[in-house]
């Protein structure tokens, strides 16, 4: 079973992040990087905010990151999550990728275990609408 119930809507790709989600569907985490200045840009965008180049490539992200920040949700803001509170929402940082960050969940941690700076490992889960999303497990210190 996925970390969040199937009734929780999965991502709905837009014209800007369709490629990102297409790679996720293949269980490949890739970030967009500007081919002119080599800076990562996330969320994906058509123009580099650093140098205004339209050129980019999709590079493989590391399989590990660190928790940059997190919250523990106790109050279900949507009926679909009323049975799984408390649950976590983490922001995972990828230092090797200009500190690109993803909002996700840490699927194997109790609320009291989540810590800023803890190492995490990428895993994949399928949401209720069939989209494959990056989630994380506890890594080794």
Report DSSP state, residue 48: -
Least distance (Å) from Zn ion to the CB of residue 5? 40
Cα–Cα distance between 62 and 122 in angstroms, integer? 9
Q: Which of 6, 53, 10 is nearest to 33 (CA)?
A: 53
> What is the side-by-side order of every strand in the sheet holding 56-60?
40-41, 30-34, 56-60
Least distance (Å) from Zn ion to the CB of residue 41? 8
- When asked if residue 53 is in the footprint of Zn ion (CB under 5 A), the reply is yes
Structure tokens at 55: 């050129």
Least distance (Å) from Zn ion to the CB of residue 123? 31
- When asked if residue 35 is in the footprint of Zn ion (CB under 5 A), the reply is no
- When asked if residue 48 is in the footprint of Zn ion (CB under 5 A), the reply is yes
Q: Which stretch binds Zn ion (CB under 5 A): 4-12, 25-33, 52-60, 118-126?
A: 52-60
Binding site for Zn ion (CB under 5 A): 34, 36-37, 48, 50-51, 53
């Amino acid at each position: 079973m996925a970390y969040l119930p199937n009734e929780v809507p999965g991502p709905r790709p837009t014209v800007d992040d369709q490629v990102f989600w297409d790679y996720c569907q293949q269980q490949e985490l890739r970030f967009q990087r500007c081919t002119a200045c080599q800076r990562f840009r996330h969320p994906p965008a058509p123009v580099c905010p650093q140098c205004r180049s339209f050129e980019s490539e999709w590079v493989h992200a590391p399989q590990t990151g660190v928790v940059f920040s997190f919250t523990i949700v106790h109050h279900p803001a949507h009926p679909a999550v009323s049975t799984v509170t408390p649950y976590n929402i983490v922001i995972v940082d990828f230092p090797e990728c200009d500190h690109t960050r993803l909002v996700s969940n840490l699927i194997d941690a109790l609320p009291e275990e989540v810590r800023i700076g803890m190492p995490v490992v990428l895993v994949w889960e399928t949401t209720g609408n069939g989209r494959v999303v990056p989630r994380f497990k506890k890594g080794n210190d």
